[in-house]
């Protein structure tokens, strides 16, 4: 288990691999980009709220829009996907509530309880009575052939 960021993980992997250690390595979203480290990152697992390799209709639409807007950029990351979802969630809420701040806040709090959940790129958003999103998806990705893919296939 690597409880750190990509730089620390790369150093741990370099040292482990140089000593012949080939055990599975798991980290969290701080390892974003680890696949760019090359062969030492193959087989590394990481948890993430978003993986660009997800084959969902929402993600496929997001990838198309992202590539159109940023044709020379690489794949989008979790903050890009979460921002995309936040903008479209707020668009939907404002369409229903209008522009009054208090009305927007009330309508936002109703997402998933008083109104249908929001189905976005990062999964389904449904707020509970405390304002949390308790059932948000977390994915386990695995570095395979230089890319992070959903572990166990897709």
Of 79, 48, 80, the closest CA to residue 63 belongs to 80
**Nearest-angstrom CA–CA distance, 30 and 48:** 9
Model pLDDT, residue 153? 67
Low-confidence ranges of the chain (pLDDT < 50): none
Query: What is the model's pTM?
Result: 0.84
Model pLDDT, residue 154? 53
Model pLDDT, residue 22? 87
Answer yes or no: are the C-beta atoms of 121 and 50 closer than 8 Å.
Answer: yes
Model pLDDT, residue 44? 96
Answer yes or no: are the C-beta atoms of 13 and 38 closer than 8 Å.
Answer: no
């Amino acid at each position: 288990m690597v409880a750190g960021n990509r730089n620390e993980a790369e150093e741990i992997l370099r040292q482990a691999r140089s000593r012949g250690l080939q055990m599975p390595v798991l980290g969290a979203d701080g390892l974003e980009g680890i696949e760019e480290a090359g062969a030492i990152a193959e087989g590394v697992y990481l948890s993430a709220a978003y993986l660009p390799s997800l084959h969902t209709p929402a993600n496929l639409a997001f990838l198309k829009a992202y590539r159109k807007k940023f044709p020379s950029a690489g794949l989008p990351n979790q903050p890009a996907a979460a921002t995309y979802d936040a903008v479209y969630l707020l668009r939907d809420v404002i369409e229903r509530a209008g522009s009054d701040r208090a009305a927007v806040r009330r309508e936002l709090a109703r997402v998933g309880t008083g109104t249908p959940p929001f189905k976005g790129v990062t999964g389904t958003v449904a707020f509970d009575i405390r304002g949390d999103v308790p059932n948000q998806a977390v994915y386990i990705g695995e570095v395979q052939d230089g890319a992070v893919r959903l572990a166990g296939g897709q």
